[in-house]
Amino acid sequence: MANHLAGSTSPYLLQHAENPVDWWEWGPEAFAEAKRRDAPILLSVGYAACHWCHVMAHESFEDATVAEAVNTSFVAVKVDREERPDVDAVYMAATTALTGHGGWPMTCFLTPDGEPFYCGTYYPRQTFLQILDAVSRAWTDRREEVLDAGGRIVAALSEGVSTGRPVALDAAALDAAAATLEESFDRTNGGFGRAPKFPPSMVLEFLLRHHARTGDPRSRRMVDVTADAMARGGMYDQLAGGFARYSVDASWVVPHFEKMLYDNAQLLRLYLRLHRATGSALAERVVRETAEFLLRDLRTAEGGFASSLDADAAGHEGLTYAWTPAELAAVLGPDDGARAADLMAVTEVGTFEKGTSTLQMRRDPADPRWWADVRDRLLRARADRPQPARDDKVVTAWNGLAVAALAEAGALLGEPGWVAAARTCAELVMDRHVVDGRLRRASRDGRVGTAAAVAADHGDLAEGLLALHQATGEARWLEDAGWVLDVALEHFAADGGGFHDVADDAEQLLSRPRDLADNAEPAGTSALSGALLTYAALTGSDRHRQAAEQAVAAAGALAAAEPRFAGWTLAVAEAALAGPLQVAVVGDDDAAAEMVAAARASSSPGLVIAFGAPDLPGVPLLADRPLLRGAATAYVCRGFVCDLPVTDVPALLAQLGGRVPIDGAG
């Protein structure tokens, strides 16, 4: 029997379209069916790359006995948390409140009105059957208790989480946050806290910016040690580039193998900025390999970027990526195989499962030409193995992060193809994801989904558009970013500063989510605060600057108390403290290009760049900025107070470094 998922735009839902469970998509039809049948709802939330979601699907949702139990007593609703982060947030809050923990797959039982009364995560088949039976009997025999429980949970959810009073993040607060992070820093392995370890992209970005502003060596050391350990460990794909979702151990050896777009976009940008600040060859290699991974493995036919690669292949986690010494020798021959095994810590005992090892590179190969040949041969052999499935839906927020990373990296490293890919992606999102004047969350194969965009979609997309504007000089991206931000200000703003995660006219759920914590990706409030700050610096808009500062302050108490969960908020606060530092370069010759390149090499967290012809329409920083004596000219302004214009790179660098050039105007 076909269920109701065949028309979905979610690859995760389509994975369940042939289940014997009679799944419905989230929507009014499912709730109407529950009311018609007077049956509770089984809500199952997951995502395509989730290993334990696959396990529960194979054990339970593909099982005829389980399907009969579900279909007889429940209306089953399947949700892709990546398409509906709002639904996920509401019911994850209930799950965490009831059980003390959360995770995916998330399993909730709801009244026909959507009120949760029993929640959990992954259940083995037999346990799940027992729960289905118990919940069914409770719904039939103890209905009032069930309804009372649901009502109490809803009341607690509707109270919301108090964000406290706004707290400004001044220099002292940022210094204190860096010191707090040092307390949980793993000095041996890098990262923070114990295993499992997730890549702390936003925290490292904050620490890198903090070092740029203050020169604090402790902040720089935390970045260096962590970035080096992640790039050399098994969490990084030493053959194809790109990072897995997280490491199950403290030493970054064994990953959970799913590869997420949002992780790789953020890490690409982090390593780019580390390379910019330090000249690190390792950081540059990671940038180049990760950019190529995005373009080769995640780019869709329409020019967007797919959400993820699965953790599993042919039903086994890590099957594509792990090796034995014998497998290396079979591909490379005994001598090269042994040499490669030594380089990449592939042992007879193994570092992963069943004697296999993940590939690490704790030291650089002595012979780069030999390594390039070995890497190429191993990649070709790996291509013949079972490959992970790809979730090819295009999510607005994560594509915004990818646009920002590729545009910035392409401009800094002289890779115009990366900038062109960022432009194509931005065009796709602005063309396909804007429907009736509002953003949508995702599309697949060019067909846009019905879910409305959330706050993070607006913030991350605007971030990408602003980076693309600074990489290309094209005014259209600044204009598009302004539109995106104005929609967010109109429909997502919260009283007292910051933003709700969903719009004021979005589907009404049990509560209106507002999570200020940065987790695997920037929270809606911090994403918007960063984009607002950059837009204000590029345009001089005081309204956007104030909104940015209020958003940072709204998350200020959380950032001060738990800086590990407010990395992007802290990074934006660093930019606000250091900027705006505006560089406008007018002219279109080689001298102008050299000055733009020099400005891009600055590590100031508050810097923005505009370039093009004098008075270029739509680019406020170029207004009333003429050529000086007919030559390409750079204007450096701090807080909208400008230095004398200069016409050569040394004079520009002197101004960016805070030194007054000897010849004044250059």
Pairing label, strands 607-612, 581-586 = parallel
Q: Per-residue pLDDT for 317 more than 80?
A: yes
Condensed to tens digits (0 to 9), the pLDDT of residues 431-469 reads 999 999 999 999 999 999 999 999 999 999 999 999 999
pLDDT tier at 373, thresholds 50, 70, 90: very high
Condensed to tens digits (0 to 9), the pLDDT of residues 125-154 reads 999 999 999 999 999 999 999 899 888 888
Q: How far is CA 595 from CA 214, 473, 509, 563, in A?
A: 25, 14, 51, 36
Pairing label, strands 255-256, 75-80 = unpaired
Q: Are 253 and 240 in contact (CB under 8 A)?
A: no
User: Is there a cis peptide before residue 105, judged by omega within 30 degrees of 0?
Assistant: yes
pLDDT (average), residues 167-175: 96
Q: What is the pLDDT of residue 161?
A: 58
Q: What is the pLDDT of residue 660?
A: 36
Q: What is the pLDDT of residue 163?
A: 67
Q: Per-residue pLDDT for 158 more than 80?
A: no
Angstrom distance (rounded) from CA 452 to CA 459: 14
Q: What is the pLDDT of residue 663?
A: 33
Q: How far is CA 124 from CA 39, 119, 130, in A?
A: 23, 15, 10
HSE-CB for 211 with a 13 A CA cutoff: 18
Q: Per-residue pLDDT for 162 more than 80?
A: no
pLDDT (average), residues 203-218: 97
Q: What is the pLDDT of residue 657?
A: 84
Q: Is 634 helix (H, G, I), strand (E, B) or coil?
A: strand
pLDDT tier at 157, thresholds 50, 70, 90: confident
User: Is there a cis peptide before residue 513, judged by omega within 30 degrees of 0?
Assistant: no
Letter string b/e over residues 435-474, b meaning 16 or more CB atoms within 10 A of that residue's CB: eeeebbbbbbeeebbebbbbbbbbbbbbbbbbbbbbbbbb
Give me 40's structure tokens: 């509770």
Q: Are 284 and 227 in contact (CB under 8 A)?
A: no
Q: What is the pLDDT of residue 666?
A: 27
Of 129, 147, 151, nearest in space to 138 by CA? 147
Burial of residue 155 (CB within 10 Å: 0-12, 13-18, 19+) is exposed
Could you identify the residue written with the tokens 């702390």? 200
> Residues 6 or more apart from 643 whose CB is under 8 A from it?
635, 636, 637, 655, 660
Q: What is the pLDDT of residue 631?
A: 97
pTM for the predicted model, two decimal places: 0.95
Give me 70's structure tokens: 């579900």
Lowest mean pLDDT among 199-208, 254-263, 635-644, 652-661: 652-661
Lowest mean pLDDT among 163-172, 236-245, 291-300: 163-172
Lowest mean pLDDT among 61-70, 309-318, 392-401, 657-666: 657-666
Q: Are 499 and 524 in contact (CB under 8 A)?
A: yes
Maximum CA extent, the chain: 89
Letter string b/e over residues 618-633, b meaning 16 or more CB atoms within 10 A of that residue's CB: bbbbbeebeebeebbb
Angstrom distance (rounded) from CA 363 to CA 84: 42
Angstrom distance (rounded) from CA 112 to CA 40: 6
Give me 370's structure tokens: 């030999």
Q: In what order do the strands lie in the sheet with 308-309?
A: 259-260, 308-309, 390-391
Give me 207's structure tokens: 């620490």
As a whole-number percent, the residues of the chain with pLDDT over 70 amount to 98
Condensed to tens digits (0 to 9), the pLDDT of residues 81-127 reads 999 999 999 999 999 988 999 999 999 999 999 999 999 999 999 99
Q: What is the pLDDT of residue 530?
A: 98
Q: What is the pLDDT of residue 122?
A: 96
Burial of residue 481 (CB within 10 Å: 0-12, 13-18, 19+) is buried
Average pLDDT, the chain: 95
CB neighbours of residue 154 within 10 Å: 20
What are the helix (H) ranges across 121-249? 125-141, 143-159, 171-183, 201-214, 217-232
Angstrom distance (rounded) from CA 208 to CA 580: 18
What DSSP element (H or E) covers 92? helix 85-99
pLDDT tier at 641, thresholds 50, 70, 90: confident
Of 346, 259, 339, 350, nearest in space to 305 by CA? 259
